[in-house]
Structure 1
C-alpha cells in the first residue's frame, strides 16, 4: 500500500466488462482517468478551472500492469498518488493502484503528463497559486522531485 494517496471507489458496471466476463482492458484506464480528475480537483484543478484558464492535463505515456482479474459487480478502489514531479510542477507522473473488494491488488497504472494551453496547442505552466496547490497533492513513499535543468545559451 502507498504511504499517502487519495482513494476512490467505483462499481464495475456491465459496460466495463469484456467477452471474458471480467473488467475490459480500457476500463482500467477509464477508472484511473476519473480518479485522476478527482485527484486534480483536490488541488483546485477542476474542469471549470481548466475551462476558465484554457489549460488541461495532457498525457505522454500511460502504462498498465494487470495483476488480477476483476469480475462484474465488484467494487474497486483506486489509490492515486504523485510519484514524480518537476520542481515547477510543469511535468509529473501519477500512479494509480487498483484494488479488488477482497483487498488484492488488481492493477497498477502509471501516467506521465504535463499541462497544455488548449488554445495555443502548446505546453504551458500552471498559474503559481495552482502550481502550489498541485505540489501539495498526496505523494507516494518513493516520490521523486525532479530539479529544473539549467538553460544553456
Structure 2
C-alpha cells in the first residue's frame, strides 16, 4: 500500500479525451483534490482557509506522464511536500498517481505560495498555521529552504 494517499477514485467518462485515456487536465484536478484533502486532514480545510482570507496560489505545475490511465480505472494520488520556506510561505509538492494495479502513471510537481485574498498579494502564514504546515508529509528529498 502506498503511503500519503490523499485521493482515491474512479476515472469517469467526463475525464477521458479523444484518445480514450485520461485527459491532461484531469491529472491536475486529481492532484488539487488530493492537496485539499491533505490540508483538511491537518486542520486547514478550504472553508477555514477562506475564512482567514488566505489561499494557495500555484506558480508552476509540471506533469510527467509514465503510463496511460483509462475509463473506469481506479486511481490513488499521493502528496508529499518537497520544499518549504516558512519565511515567505512558498511550497513545493510532489504527487504520484497510481492505478489500482500499483502502476505509477504520472508524477506531478507544483510550486506555489500563500496569498492574502483581500490584498491579492503573497503573504506569510500566521504562526498557528505554520505549526500545522510542518505536520504535512515530507518527501525523502525534502528541503527546508527557509533563510
- Normalising by structure 1, what TM-score? 0.91
Mapped pair 1:32 → 2:56:
no
Contact 2:86 2:130 in 1 (8 A): no
Contact 2:7 2:33 in 1 (8 A): no
1:133 maps to which residue? 132
2:46 maps to which residue? 47
RMSD value, Cα: 1.6
- Structure 2: gaps of 5 or more residues: none
Contact 2:6 2:35 in 1 (8 A): no
1:59 deviates by 0.3
Runs of 4+ with deviation above 3 angstroms: none
Deviations 1:20-72 (A, max 9, x none): 11100110001000001111112222111112111100001000000000010
* Matched residue count: 147
- Normalising by structure 2, what TM-score? 0.94
- Structure 1: gaps of 5 or more residues: 149-153
Q: Distance in 2 between matches of 1:50 and 1:35?
A: 16
